[in-house]
Structure 1
Amino acid sequence: MGPDHVVGAMVIDGSGRDPGNLGLTIQSGRITRLGASSAHGERLDTEGLTMTPGLIDAHAHLGLSSPIQPHFSFQISAAEIAAGIFATVGATLDAGFTTVRDTGGIDGGVVTAIANGKVRGPSVLSCGPVQCQIGGHGYYGAAWEPTELWSSHHIPGLCALSMMAGNADELRHNVREAFRRGASFPKLCVTGGVVGGHDRLTDTQFAVEEIAVAVQEAAAQNTYVTVHAHKNEGIRDARP
C-alpha cells in the first residue's frame, strides 16, 4: 500500500514550536515524514482540522470500567466485566490517547491482548494489582470476609485490583508477584481514599520500612514506585 500525504491541517508536532501547516506522510499506519512531500501516493485534504501527537494519560484505571462494589462482589459476570474493559480501551484510543499508564485494576492479560493487536487500544504501562495494607485502601471485600479470600474476587489475566500485605516481607513478595505478572512499576496505597471500602481519607497506611521495601524492589527492576497519597503525613511518608 502506497503512502498517504496529509495536507491542509494545522499540525502541532510536540516540539514546542508554534503550530503550522506542515503536511505529513503516513505509511502503513505510521507517520514517516513531517513536512510537504511530492512523492507518489494518495493526497488527503484535512483543511480546517488540527493534528497533534497522541495524548498520554498518566493515571487511569481501565480495569474499573464497571462499578467497584458490584464488580468485586460477584454481582457482575466476567463477560460483562471484560466487555466493559475492552470498550473502555477502545474509547480511550478513539479519544486520542495512544499511551496510558494504568495505576491499578487490570491484570497482565489485558496489556498483552492490546499489544498483540487482539483488542483496539493504546499502549499500556500497568502496575498490575495495587499494593495495599490489610484492610487498607484498595480492599473492597466484606468486613466479615477473611482477607485471604480477597484474591478470589479477581479474574486472572483480566482484572486484579489489589494485593494485601501485613508486613514488609509480605509486601516484598507481592511486589515481586506483580512484576512476575507483567507490571511495569509497583503502586502503593499509603493513605486512605475518597472511595475507600473500609478506610478513611485521613488514614496513614504502610510503615516507612514497608515503603522502603517496594522502592528496593523497583530499583532492582530499573523502574520506580508510584503511590496513592492524601494529606501531608501520607505524602511525607511516601517520599523515598
Structure 2
Amino acid sequence: LGVTVVPALLVALCKLTMSMFLGVYRKPSLSAQPGPLVKSEGNMTLHCRSEIQFGSFVLHSEELSKAPWHLPGQPHREGSHANFIMGPVTAAHAGTYRCFGFLNHSFYEWSTPSDLLDIMITGENVLLPSSLGYRQGVLRLGKHDTLSCCSESNFDVYHLPRDGQLRGHQLAEGQRHDGASWAHFLLGPAKPALGGTYICHGSFDSSPCEWSGPSDPLYLSAPFIPNLSCFLSSS
C-alpha cells in the first residue's frame, strides 16, 4: 500500500482502546489526489491536513479489515499534514476513509475524525456508459427533469455523481434489453444547487465498489432565480 504501519504504536493503541479519548482536538481535513475516483492499477494519495501541529496522523478504512495506517506529521506553516500514498490500487482499496491526528506525547488523545471520504475504483475491463442525455441544457426552476444513461454493458446499477462528489450521489437500477442497459435519474424540483457537471458510471452487483469509467460529462446550468428586490420600489 505504500504506507508503513508502526507495530509498537498499534500495540499500544490496541491496549488503550477502552480508554482512548476522541474529539480532544479539532478535526483534520481529508482529501484524495487525483480525486475520489481512481483508475484500477493507478496510484492515489490521501492527504490528511490540520491547522494543529500534530506529531502523527492515522488513516482508517471502514471496509478494510486491517490495522489503521500511521504516518508522522509533517509540519508546515499553517499546521501539519501527512500523505498516505497507495498503489497500484485494486477494488479492495475502494471504500470509506477518515483520518485522525494526535500529539506523540499523548497518543491516547485523538482529534475528532475527519469528514468521511468515499473512494471508488474505476475498472477498465468493462464498456463505458456510452451517453448521458438530457433534452435541455438548463434546469427549469421548480420542475422535475430526467437524465438518462445507457451502455452496451448490462450494468446492474448506474451512479450519477455531480461535480465529482461521491457522497450522497444518485443511484438507479439498470434496465436491460437486447444486451444493453440504461437508467433514468430524476432531478428536481430544480434549484440552483442542482446545477453542475454530471457524469455517470455503471457497476455490477458482484463488485459494487468497482465502477466503469465515466461517461462524457454533461453540464447543466442552474435555474435562474430573479432578485425580487429589483422589482421593489422604495415608498
Alignment TM-score, normalising by the size of structure 1: 0.25
Higher share of residues assigned strand: 2
Higher share of residues assigned helix: 1
Alignment TM-score, normalising by the size of structure 2: 0.25
Bigger RCO (CA 8 Å, 6+ sep)? 2
